[in-house]
Structure 1
Amino acid sequence: MLFGVATIVRWVMGPSPISDAVPQIRLQLLIVGGAVGLLLAGLILSRPGRISGGHINPAISLAMWRFGVFPGRSVLPYIVAQLIGSALGVLVARAVWGSTVERPPVVYAALQPGPGWTAGELFTVEAVGMGVIVYLVGYFLQNPRLAPLVPWLVGLLIGAAIALLGTTTGGSVNPARQFGPAVVSGELDYLWAYLLAPMVGAVIAAFVLDRVHTCRAVLTHRLCGTRADGTPLQQ
């Protein structure tokens, strides 16, 4: 995911024919949001995504555990893998696209809040944004007719977050989205908020959904490689 994100940012917001033709930051963010949304949907629908559940986001892994459909012992390994993948994806983007990736305005696709934004405001908006995403994803997964649309829903919601929040919080709503770029670039300011806020938002949204829709099960056991009773699926 992070190789794709860094690549999209490099060619849309870095020196390129696209950035020359579309110099307005909000239009650039709209393009980035649309491209990242399609990337996420594709990754979730891909064979590796289907095997692993296609979380690609520590907050989603945590939410699936809180929904009771993902084993708690797998949450930490998933988060570690997601954060390692984040850093590796950025490093591969640097190797493929050269020094342009490390220089402004790309800077490894690291995010920073807009001028005047405090850490508290950043934390609140990122938590609320992730909470909305988790609530809607959980709601869709409770409905057999809506569940197949979840990959496209995730892409749409993340794309919208990038387009709408790009000039304020950066529109991360994913700890892994910011971890690799921040660590590799050394832009560690506010990293704690980018890491913790989506996790808090996910837990709160899962709690609210559980209280509002207590009679429906979330249909995700097959996505994490197990049957409803927890036994492994046959490959």
Structure 2
Amino acid sequence: MGKIAIGTGREATQPDCIQALTVEFICTFLFVFAGVGSAMAVDKLQGDSLVGLFFVAMAHALVVAVMISAGFRISGGHLNPAVTIGLCAGGHITVVRSILYWIDQCLASAAACALLKYLTGGLTTPVHTLASGVDYTQGVIMEIVLTFSLLFTVYATIVDPKKGFLDGLGPLLTGLVVGANIMAGGAFSAASMNPARSFGPALVAWNWTDHWVYWVGPLIGGGLAGFIYDNFFIDRSHAPLPRDDEPF
């Protein structure tokens, strides 16, 4: 059974952690820039809503796959506080480093959205809110399920040492499940699955409507998936990370 690693405050000053935070910032920035930018492009072009949803889903799928691959060997390419908490629940990253990642991811998201607002001449930054007819309970449950599927995929295709022929395909498959989840839940809960992805637009637009849903749902779903997969499906014949944990 995996054991949660607390870590120490000294991690923040270690060269490998500083390097990881730098790469995590860059990858999260580029992910949010492309993801939010695609949603802004759909709004600007005023296209068909179904086509727009597909366009946004595919943009997220592609950029998630690429940015996980780009950051994987240094920061793990989390891009997402829910991914970080899911890995923390399995003992694959310390609590201390997880908190640093969360701050890093949120700052990167805010910076990407601020730059997009400037580059698009002040276009409205689309924020994640619940659709009409979707209440808080439904929204939270939707985000829990969608994020659970995301973290379950991360564990099955990237973390699990028994991934076999899936080895190397994890980032692509993770991107695909993100795209599929946006197609399934985008019209209802906005299918965030990522508190940082929701935070940047909310901050820049200063619109916090339903915002708490996109922290509670994804963090519960991510943590639950990490705990379940790591404790019930991973073979513990190898030792968990003993001290300065490497993401993934």
Same structural fold, with TM-score higher than 0.5 when normalized by the shorter chain: yes
Q: Contact (CA 8 Å) 1:44, 1:50: kept in 2 or not? A: no
Distance 1:150 1:85 in 2: 23
Is residue 175 of structure 2 the alignment partner of residue 158 of structure 1?
no
Is residue 117 of structure 2 the alignment partner of residue 94 of structure 1?
yes
Unmatched tracts of structure 2, length 5 or more: 1-30
Aligned pairs for 1:184-195 within 5 A: 184-195=204-215
Query: Structure 1 residues 216, 147: CA separation in 2 closer, same or farther (over 3 Å shift)?
Result: farther
TM-score computed with the length of structure 1 as normaliser:
0.83
Q: Contact (CA 8 Å) 1:40, 1:154: kept in 2 or not? A: yes
How many residues align? The count is: 213
Name the residue aligned to 1:114. Answer: 131
Q: Which amino acid aligns with 2:133?
A: G
Cα deviation code 1:114-161 (max 9, x no counterpart): 111111110111011101111122122311432311111111011111
How far is 1:109 from its partner? 2.5
Distance 1:118 1:172 in 2: 16
Query: Structure 1 residues 49, 137: CA separation in 2 closer, same or farther (over 3 Å shift)?
Result: closer
Q: Which amino acid aligns with 1:153?
A: L
Name the residue aligned to 1:6. Answer: 36
Q: Which amino acid aligns with 1:166?
A: G
Cα deviation code 1:197-225 (max 9, x no counterpart): 11111111122213431425799x9xxxx
Unmatched tracts of structure 1, length 5 or more: 103-107, 222-227
Is residue 20 of structure 2 the alignment partner of residue 35 of structure 1?
no
Q: Contact (CA 8 Å) 2:109, 2:196: kept in 1 or not? A: yes
SS in 1 for 2:169: helix
Distance 1:232 1:125 in 2: 31
Distance 1:195 1:115 in 2: 20
Query: Structure 1 residues 231, 127: CA separation in 2 closer, same or farther (over 3 Å shift)?
Result: closer
Distance 2:244 2:202 in 1: 38
Aligned pairs for 1:58-97 within 5 A: 58-97=81-120
Q: Which amino acid aligns with 2:177?
A: L
What is the aligned counterpart of 2:192 among 172, 175, 189?
A: 172
Is residue 44 of structure 2 the alignment partner of residue 44 of structure 1?
no
TM-score computed with the length of structure 2 as normaliser:
0.79
